[in-house]
Amino acid sequence: MDFSVLLQDIPTLLVVIIGVPVVLVGYIVGAEFLVRRLPDKNRPQVRPWIWVGPALVMVALFLFIPAIATFIQSFQDNHSNFVGFQNYATQLAGFPSSPTWIAIRNSIIIWLILYMILVLTFGLIMAVLFDRVQYETLVKSLIFMPMAISSVASGVIWKFMYWYQPAGSPQTGTMNAIVTFFHHDPVAWLQDQWPNGLAILNNLALITVATWGLTGFSMVILSAALKGIPGELLEAARVDGAGEITIFRRVIFPLMMPTIVVVGTTLVIFAIKVFDVPYVMTNGNFNTDVLALRMYNLLYLSHNNAAAAAVAIVLLIAVVPVLIFNLRQFRAVEARR
Amino acid sequence: MSVAAAGHLESTAAVGSLPWIAQRIQRILLHAAVVLLTLMWVIPTVGLLVSSFRPSAQIITTGWWTALTIPFQFTLQNYQDMLAQSNMGTAIFNSFMVSIPSTVIPVTIAAFAAYAFAWMKFPARDWIFLAFVGLLAVPLQLTFVPVLSFFVAHGIVPDNLSSIGLPPWVGLWLAHAGYGLPFSTYLLANFFRQLPSDLFESAEIDGAGTLTVFFRIVLPLSVPAIASLIIFQFLWVWNDLLVALIYVGGAQEVAPLTVSLANLTNSLGQGYQLLTAAAFFSMVVPLVVFLSLQRYFVRGILAGSVKG
Amino acid sequence: MRSSSVRRALVVSIASVLTLVACGTSSSTNAGTIHFLGVWSGAEQASWFAVLKPFEDSTGIKVSYEASRDQDAILTSTVAAGNPPDVAGAPSPQLLSQFAKQGKLIPLNNAVDMTALQANTAPSWIKLGEPLNDGKLYQIFAWGAVKGLIWYDPKNFQAKGYNVPKSYDDLTALQSQIKGSGTTPWCVTVESGSATGWPASDWLKEIVLSQSGPDVYDKWVAGTQKWSSPEIKQAFTTFGSILGPSGGNVYGGPQYAVATNFGDVGTPMFTNPPKCYMLNQASFITSFFTSANPALTPGTDFNFFPLPDINPQFAGAHVVAGDSFAMFKDTPQARKLMQYLTTADAQTIWVKRGGKLAVNKQVSLDSYPDALSKESAQIIVTTTIGKYDATDQMPADMKAAAWADLVKFIQNQGQLNSLLAHLDSVQATAYHS
């Protein structure tokens, strides 16, 4: 291994580490300086745009414009002729067993519900329980570790977990070793479409992988919110003789609610656009296809941009209810203060 | 802090009394639950760790737990083979060059925007904010062609950037920043919004300007949120493969560590046992980032400043 | 105070940008660079670099190489955005042919020595590089592999007194004999991540070619032979008879076959006692055998025989596959590289390192590292009916559907008719996008 390069280029690294923040802070300080020169009554009109401006420009450029282009594309064929709802009709034909409907079912029902509930519940339980033990940093790091593993490597890890050998042979996968220990036949976790071809089992096997990988995320954010609850508040409740469960229900949970909404919203969106785990582990075979993977395959395998755009818009529309819920939530917070 | 809270819990009842026993049992159950949860989570990783020290022939034929019995047959071969890649030093350097600005830029810009969303009034504010959250759902693959076309049209491609003396990763930084902004802004705005409003009122009475409020009050009070955001943004960029391949390509001089590690196996997937070692190798830096930011997750940062 | 801090910030930021400028300008001049996007990584990447070394040394041209298994996504995006690599190398011609149809590739007729190419390469390889049939060459092939090789352990055959089958009837007889002795005759595993199912498609196209001949095969590739036609359906049922009723001829049954990676296919064959006696895989599989079990030696521990001819009328038919190269930007450096890759000198380098068979006939058979690879190289050179991998030439949609439906077929052969109907419907649209 050649680490000399690393040392040699350290100055460049330092310039970037210092230069980038300096430019960013320089922007806001400089812009505020200019705003102050404006007449008093114009300042409140200009100032917000100074602060949201850079984010607005970047999000517009990297996400919003491509999203609009996709929206337009979804009403065109691959030669830019307007075709109305043709792409949607093609993709949404054949309910309920066409590939797109299977992807919709998996993404918007199975993944959305199970993934969000599992990650949120485990994250909340961990944040609250770990807060009460001295070795908090250690256990948190262990839970966080899967987040630091790339999707390819976690594919290898779960290959060791789900490995299948025929009944009678020694099992090489952890899960099947446990299952056969209890005298059950080994299970092909990723291929078995139990029950009756509905493919709940193998989708759950994929969701398990993703849950294992992302629980560290919800744990860390919920833990940060938990730490934000002032200790005096909790102690006051304890002095009043409240039990730990009551304290959680009456004090901790309500105060954490806004953060739980944020994490929940993020998880819903992650669930709807999940891609990595099914891509690496099954590529959507065995009825495990999801919307983002379907879109990817239409885009890069079929080179059918129009169809991919329609699937992407279906995916984006699925997010709308969550947005409406959020709008109400933060208007409520606004009204309270 | 957690330790203080735990200590407090144990000191409320006399030793040997019924409440004391009840509390003891509670403590034991708590520890059991913590250990059980953690065990559930580490088993897959332990399996990988053990496998990373096993010869490839054995990985295929026997379960990893069989390696834990005598005779031990462990080897460092997987790690040696992985590190033997000639360009590891460059790859690690590139990963830092990609990850640090790609974290700093979106977190800073998101903090500016989140402050405005949380505490300033402007037309269509809530709708713009909602759009930010909604854009989190945009599958990145859709953006590759339009964004790359924009970069090509404006010369923000590695060859051209190098020739005018800028780092070749500028386009990648901007792209990662753009992709990271919706989540960053959403998370920070939520935290900023929960700050008590009397803080701002009193600051205004003291004649503090917007900049002072932002740098002296908002940021310090949101340290746990910012720390967790830095962890995630850094992590996502550090582990990214596809976005880097699109915007800077996989040539050794510019490619991050993930590219080198993905190339450990051959095109048919052979040699995946090297990935077991690689997984632990690439995990080190994110874990260090996580641990070093851990100390900002402490209770009491908001102490004395909350109306309740 | 405030204004001075602003000024300081501005000065520092300008200074940092200037320093960046100073740091960045250090690239040395040379005879030019070629941006190359390929798929070879790991051990293959080392072989690829060995091939490039004499080229870089003699011309001074630097090849900036990047490899990715997400080649489809990267090439599609960068080509559409107007920033393609100079040259790309792909494991199958389909993706690059697609770009030829979009007019994104540079014809190679003036880049490579066509006379030498025509003299040294089988016409079918050249025709494969002309996807528009307009006499313009868009792709060249350098290395390949032979498919349809049946691998076995000679020691196992000897112990049981089995003979290498000479005809397809011998093969089915042997299959029943092994089955009768209480062991599954075959190892079949088809899991391959995002390409799951392709090893089963190898079986299918070898059967189609050997059973119904090159004309049916070509029509099938071109999308004019329906999947539900008697010929293709017969190939499926023949494959089904290899698998046996409910997959009973295959070690571990259908569950194991679809759940296990194709690279692990040989593991049960080399256990004692063996759990299967034969497997069908291309010439590259030997490296998987030896990396899983370094004690195995070619020839004594494993050997192969070509899948026997099913229909004697099409005797000696073989399915081959290969690495193709195409040029996206017309630079003098890229032209030189394309020409270099067609030469026997370039191809010999990788051949000697093992794992690939040369397309250029001038590469000496003595260059092959062992008897087995020499034997498979001979098949590539002497085959009378050599056909390129069918699914790799079909549109990606068709290919993906074929892989997925073959997996379903392994799981439940009873649904053959509905699978073929589905493949027909994909065929009806996939060729027109």
Report the C-alpha gap between C374 and C382 in whole angstroms. 12
Cα-Cα-Cα-Cα dihedral sign, residues B241, B83, A282, A154: negative
Q: How many angstroms separate the CA atoms of C224 and C217, rounded?
A: 10
* Alpha-carbon span B54 to B75, nearest angstrom: 6
What is the chain B residue with the closest CA to A272? Answer: B137
CA-based nearest residue to A105, from A320, A318, A325, A321: A318
Q: Considering only CB atoms, which chain B residues are within 8 Å of A32?
A: 209-211
pLDDT at position C335 over 70: yes
Do the beta carbons of residue B89 and residue A3 sit within 8 Å? Answer: yes
pLDDT of amino acid A7: 62
C194 CB neighbours in chain A (<8 A) are 279-280, 283
Quote the pLDDT of residue C29. 46
**What is the predicted pLDDT for the residue at B142?**
93
The CA distances from residue C424 to A267, A284, C98, C203, in Å, are: 39, 21, 21, 19
**Is there a contact between B120 and A265 if contact means CB atoms under 8 Å apart?**
no
d(CA B75, CA B77): 5
Contacts across the A-B interface (CB distance below 8 Å): 362
Distance from CA of A195 to the nearest CA of B (A): 26
- CB-nearest to B224 from A227, A230, A262 is A227
CB-based contact A301 C396, cutoff 8 Å: yes
Of C20, C72, C196, the CB nearest to A300: C72
- List chain C residues with CB under 8 Å of B242: 70, 73-74
**Percent residues over pLDDT 70 in chain C:** 93
DSSP-derived pairing of the beta strands C357-358 and C149-152: unpaired
Of the candidates C80, C33, C116, C89, which has an alpha carbon nearest to the alpha carbon of residue C333? C33
* Angle, alpha carbons B62-B68-B73 (nearest 5°): 75
- Inform me whether the C-beta atom of residue C290 falls under 8 Å from chain B C-beta atoms: no
Lookup result for tokens 């992407």: A312
Rg value, chain A, Cα: 25
**pLDDT, tens digit, for every residue of B140-169?**
999 999 999 999 999 999 988 888 888 899
Q: What is the 3-state secondary structure (H, E, C) of chain C?
A: CHHHHHHHHHHHHHHHHHHHHHHHCCCCCCCCEEEEEECCCHHHHHHHHHHHHHHHHHHCCEEEEEECCCHHHHHHHHHHCCCCCCEEEECCHHHHHHHHHCCCCCCCCCCCCHHHHHHHCCHHHHHHCCCCCCCCCCCEEEEEEECCEEEECHHHHHHHCCCCCCCHHHHHHHHHHHHHCCCCCEECCCECHHHCCHHHHHHHHHHHHHHHHHHHHHHHHHCCCCCCCHHHHHHHHHHHHHHCHHHCCECCHHHHHHHCEHHHCCHHHHCCCCCCCEEEECHHHHHHHHHHCCCCCECCCEEEEECCCCCHHHCCEEEEEEEEEEECCCCHHHHHHHHHHHCHHHHHHHHHHCCCEECCCCCCHHHCCCHHHHHHHHHHHHCCEEEECHHHHCCHHHHHHHHHHHHHHHHCHHHHHHHHHHHHHHHHHHCCC
pLDDT value at position A151? 82
Its sign, for the CA torsion C156, C162, C166, C169, is: negative
Most C-contacting residue of A24, A283, A293, A297 (CB-CB within 10 A), to test interface: A283
Tokens of A85: 């709802």
Question: Can you tell me the distance from the alpha carbon of B246 to that of B237, in angstroms, rounded to the nearest whole number?
Answer: 14
pLDDT band at A8 (very low <50, low <70, confident <90, very high): low
CB contact under 8 A, A165 and C252: yes
Name all chains with 3 or more CB-CB pairs below 8 Å to chain B. A, C
A177: which chain B residues are within 8 Å (Cβ-Cβ)?
63, 65
Q: Which segments of A60-168 does DSSP mark as H helices, in order?
A: 65-73, 86-92, 99-104, 116-130, 136-144, 151-162
The partner residue sitting opposite A283, judged by closest CB among C98, C194, C396, is: C194
Least confident of A7-11, B37-41, B83-87, C249-253: A7-11
Pick the residue of B104, B190, B236 with the most A CBs within 10 A to test the interface with A by mutation. Answer: B190
- C66·B271 Cβ contact <8 A: no
Encoded tokens for C160: 């049981």
Of B52-56, B82-86, C11-15, highest mean pLDDT: B52-56
* C positions 3-32 inside 8 Å of B (CB): 20-25, 27
What pLDDT is stored for residue B3 in this prediction? 39
Chain A contacts to C (CB-CB under 8 A): 11-12, 15-16, 18-19, 22-23, 25-26, 29-30, 33, 78, 155, 164-166, 169, 188, 190-192, 279-283, 285-286, 296-297, 299-304
Q: What's the mean pLDDT when you consider all of chain C? A: 90
Do the Cβ atoms of B88 and A129 come within 8 Å? no
Residue of C17, C34, C68, C192 to mutate, interface with B, max B Cβ within 10 Å: C68
Per-residue pLDDT tens digits for C286-333: 888 988 888 899 999 999 999 999 999 998 899 999 999 999 999 999
Q: Is A296 in Cβ contact with C433 (below 8 Å)?
A: no
Of B90, B191, B297, the CB nearest to A223: B297
Which 3 state secondary structure label does DSSP give B77?
A: helix
Partner-chain contact A191 C255, CB within 8 Å: yes
Sheet containing strand C303-306, edge to edge, reads: C186-187, C278-281, C149-152, C303-306
Average of pLDDT values for A64-87?
95
Determine the distance in angstroms separating the CA of B162 from the nearest CA of chain C, rounded to an integer. 6
Q: Which chain B residue has the Cα nearest residue A217? A: B232
**Percentage of chain B lying above the pLDDT 70 cut:** 92
Confidence of residue B122 (pLDDT cuts 50, 70, 90): very high
Residue numbers in B near C288 (CB within 8 A): 268, 270
Cβ within 8 Å, pair A238-B9? yes
**SS3 letters across A81-112:** CECCCHHHHHHHCCCCCCHHHHHHHHHHHHHH
pLDDT range class, residue C24, cuts 50, 70, 90: very low
Min Cα separation A288/chain C (Å): 12
CA distance A116 to chain C (A): 25
For residue B6, what pLDDT band results from cuts at 50, 70 and 90?
very low
Chain C residues in contact with A281 (beta carbon < 8 A): 193
| Amino acid occupying residue A276 | D
With beta carbons less than 8 A apart as the criterion, state whether A163 and B55 touch: no
Residue of C nearest to A172 (CA): C260
B178–A122: do the CB atoms touch at under 8 Å? Answer: no
Query: Number of CB pairs < 8 Å for A and C?
Result: 100
